[in-house]
């Protein structure tokens, strides 16, 4: 996670000095606009990104492997300029559903520096290929927030090259199979020891199987949409889809629309 944190700092928080400069009107991932600025150069891909080139809703596509040179400044702090030593703190987080987040880097110390730069190589795992996620960061000084910002990032590559894509396809097949099997009505075939004992339809399918199948199906659909970049990692639908699938599975099994099955 340290590699990931340094990578995303290039766009949001520069290790952990925020970059500050005047921003073009209407473009800045930082709030308040112009309070901070960060610049990163992906050496192999030939990409240069600046916080003033994007808005918070933009999706920035980055390669899975590269070497990044970054630099950052606090306001009026370019070069080697220093200021009075003060307490600094902040964090960088990946947003998750329901307002939750996963912290990938924090800082809490004192500093006189107003600028910083560096260079770092990185290699991200294949299971993040195509996934869109929101990065949010903030920088505080002397107990007050100086600036904050957020931006969506997406790792370049085909979603079908992500192992999560194929795992989701398998999950969809398994969920559908469970759902279909649950839709057959269960019929008690009668007591073989009792003469003329007739089969008795129970009028519904296997509800537990239907609930499990629907849950797996809904969850797998949500997981499939991640590597395709359709849903971001903080989308509430990633939690809603499995629940909807569970309810649909229960209802489907309860109705038992696919004929009968002797038990």
pLDDT for 21-33, tens place per residue? 333 445 677 777 7
Contact criterion met (CB below 8 Å) for 242 and 223? no
Sequence-distant (≥ 6) Cβ neighbours of residue 67 within 8 angstroms: 42, 43, 44, 119, 120, 121, 122
Mean pLDDT of 192-201: 49
pLDDT at 39 over 90: no
Contact criterion met (CB below 8 Å) for 38 and 116? no
Q: What is the pLDDT of residue 25?
A: 47
Catalogue all structural domains in the chain, each as residue range(s) with its CATH number.
Answer: 2-155 (2.70.50), 159-262 (no CATH)
How far is residue 152's CA from residue 212's CA, in Å, rounded to a whole number?
33
> For residue 250, which of 202, 204, 193 has the smallest C-alpha distance?
204
pLDDT in tens, 101-152: 888 888 888 888 877 788 888 888 999 999 999 988 888 888 888 888 888 9
Place of tokens 């007591």: 191
How far is residue 18's CA from residue 30's CA, in Å, rounded to a whole number?
10
pLDDT in tens, 207-260: 889 999 999 999 999 999 999 999 999 999 999 999 999 999 998 888 876 655
How far is residue 130's CA from residue 229's CA, in Å, rounded to a whole number?
6
How far is residue 121's CA from residue 42's CA, in Å, rounded to a whole number?
9
Looking at per-residue pLDDT, the higher value among 37 and 7 belongs to: 37
Give the torsion sign (CA, 156, 70, 46, 125). Answer: negative
Which secondary-structure segment (H or E) carries 70? strand 65-73
Peptide bond into 32 cis (omega under 30): yes
Contact criterion met (CB below 8 Å) for 241 and 221? yes
Average pLDDT, the chain: 79
How far is residue 22's CA from residue 40's CA, in Å, rounded to a whole number?
17
């Amino acid at each position: 996670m340290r590699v990931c944190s340094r990578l995303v700092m290039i766009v949001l928080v520069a290790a952990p000095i925020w970059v500050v400069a005047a921003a073009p009107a209407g473009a800045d991932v930082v709030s308040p606009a112009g309070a901070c600025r960060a610049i990163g150069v992906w050496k192999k891909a030939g990409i240069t990104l600046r916080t003033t080139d994007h808005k918070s809703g933009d999706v920035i596509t980055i390669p899975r492997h590269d070497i990044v040179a970054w630099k950052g400044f606090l306001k009026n702090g370019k070069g080697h300029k220093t200021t009075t030593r003060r307490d600094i703190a902040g964090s960088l987080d990946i947003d998750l559903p329901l307002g939750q987040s996963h912290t990938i880097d924090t800082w809490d110390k004192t500093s006189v520096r107003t600028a910083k730069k560096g260079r770092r190589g990185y290699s991200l795992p294949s299971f993040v290929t195509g996934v869109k996620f929101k990065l949010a960061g903030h920088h505080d000084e002397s107990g007050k927030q100086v600036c904050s910002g957020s931006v969506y990032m997406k790792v370049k590559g085909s979603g079908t090259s992500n192992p999560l894509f194929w795992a989701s396809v398998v999950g969809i097949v398994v969920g559908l199979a469970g759902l279909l099997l649950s839709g057959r009505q269960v019929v008690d075939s009668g007591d073989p020891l009792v003469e003329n004992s007739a089969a008795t339809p129970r009028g519904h399918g296997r509800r537990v199987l239907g609930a499990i199948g629907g849950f797996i199906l809904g969850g797998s659909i949500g997981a499939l949409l991640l590597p395709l970049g359709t849903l971001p990692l903080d989308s509430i639908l990633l939690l809603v889809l499995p629940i909807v699938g569970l309810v649909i599975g229960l209802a489907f099994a309860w109705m038992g629309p696919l004929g009968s099955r002797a038990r």
